[in-house]
Structures are given as structure tokens and as C-alpha cells.
Amino acid sequence: MLSLNRGEWSELYGVLFLLVKPKLNIVDSNLKNIDSTIGLFVLKEVISKSKIKLRFELVHDTILIFIDDEEYNTMTIEQIDLARKSLINAILHVKSKTGAFTIPTLDQFLQDFSDNNVFKTGSSVKEDVELVLFDSRQERNVNLTYSIKSSLGSQQQY
């Protein structure tokens, strides 16, 4: 059973959110969609930067899951979306400054999704994930790396 802090659970939530909503929007400094960029990028893969390499490849409505480049499992977007909703509910309802906590209702999902591996990186690695995106303007895949930050632990609720 995984015991993670709010930030670590939030990183997992970010990955699940991307897998469920692979059409990415570019926003301005006020987080308003830039209309000319809607549909510009579509997520194809999420790759962890952790010691255990997790890779999630989107193929239609299915997610192919690889651990250290070996195919591990497949899941539907619906399965991932159910877990995403359960996860955000758990994150928002745990008392802030609780430290690490478990989410027993997600145990089987986490086993199926990543063999209980998480997106933990070493202190020298600044990026949490690499995204492979299809750029529809250039008609090619681009790789971008990101560090996932969360404000789920702040007073402002989403």
C-alpha cells in the first residue's frame, strides 16, 4: 500500500489528468485559453523521470503501460478517469499538513497502473515527466519535460 504526501499524490493526479484529457490547451498569464491554439497539441505519451521508467502510451481509448520498456498492462481511459476522480476527492479531503497517507480504495488501481511505482525522482532531477506531444501545425511529435507543481495543499481549493 503506497503512502505518499499530498504533493506526491498530486503528481500522480497530474499524470492521470493528462491521460484522460490528452488535448492540451495553451493559456495566457490569466489561465485563459488562447483560441488559436486549441487542438494544437495532443498527448501521445507520458514518461516518468524516476529510477523505474514508467511510460504510458495513448492508443485511441486505451493506455499501454510500460515499466522499464517492458509492456506491463493496458487500461481504458474510463478506468483511469474513475481513479482520477477518486484520487482528487481523497487529496482534497485529507487534512493539510497530514504528511504521508494511504488511499486504500486505489490499491488495486495502483498495482494495475504502475506496479505500485511512483513518479519519484532524485534530488538532482528537476523534471518529473516527459511528454510526447503531437504538434498539429508542424505535423510531428515533440518531446517536452515538465516539473509538476501543485497548489492542492494551499488554502485555495479547486
pLDDT score recorded for residue 146: 84
d(CA 103, CA 1): 8
**Residue 150 — very low, low, confident or very high, per pLDDT cuts 50/70/90?**
low
pLDDT: which is higher, 135 or 148: 135
pLDDT score recorded for residue 64: 98
Helices (H), the chain: 6-20, 77-93, 107-114
Mean pLDDT across 51-78? 95
pLDDT score recorded for residue 158: 42
